[in-house]
Amino acid sequence: MKKSGFSLLEIIVVTAIMGIVMLIFSPMINAFIGAQDRLYNQSKVDSRLNEVVEFIKRDVRNARSDIGTNAIEVFPDKDSDIENDPCLAEGVVGEKIVIHGVDLDGKSKDIVYFLDGSDLKLNTGGNSSTVLSSVEEGEFKYKDKILLFYFKIDVPDRLNGKNDEDRKIRNEVRDVAITRINLQ
């Protein structure tokens, strides 16, 4: 009578072959999982930065056009020396911008974006709220009726990788230009 089943030798050979195959494919699986994780984290960072850009664009586009060039004002930060810095002489660079707009009732209202430590805050009518946190660097520049701004955020190591070779997440919005043609 013939016995059915596998011998111990067959099971050991199959297990060894499966182990070798897993060793060969494990770096590819890890790379795939790492790429998926980076893409997910990049999309979270991009989404947050794009949201802030859209807030500022909306407010600039809704700025009052009846008050001329003062519809948007950038205030230099405390350490700026406007007279001696040729870059600042071309256009005001600062950490605070005031956009003079109107609300839905047609009343004047000022919208203020400012850097407070590592937070970008929005102040409308005395209510201040954080729009973007973990800001490493940031500035506004207003020149020739064009608003330029730059933000770089500090991405936590758990999202960005432990060392410089792993840092592949773009963490900045660089020189976004917003203009209102009718800000005469």
- Amino acid letter, residue 76: P
- CB distance 125 to 109 below 8 Å: yes
Tell me how far apart the terminal alpha carbons of the chain are, to the nearest angstrom.
101
What's the pLDDT score for residue 168? 64
What's the pLDDT score for residue 161? 57
What's the pLDDT score for residue 18? 96
Cα separation, 62 vs 105, in Å, equals 13
What is the arithmetic mean of pLDDT over 103-109? 77
Please tell me which of 17-26, 100-109, 161-170, 175-184 the model is most confident about, judged by mean pLDDT.
17-26
Among 105, 114, 99, 98, residue whose Cα is nearest residue 64: 99
Residue that wins the pLDDT comparison between 17 and 119:
17
Task: Give the confidence band of 100 by pLDDT, cuts at 50, 70, 90.
Answer: confident
96 torsion bin: left (phi>0), alpha (psi -120 to 50), beta (else): beta
Task: Give the confidence band of 138 by pLDDT, cuts at 50, 70, 90.
Answer: confident
Residue with tokens 């709220």: 129
Cα separation, 137 vs 118, in Å, equals 8
- CB distance 40 to 168 below 8 Å: no
pTM (global) more than 0.85: no
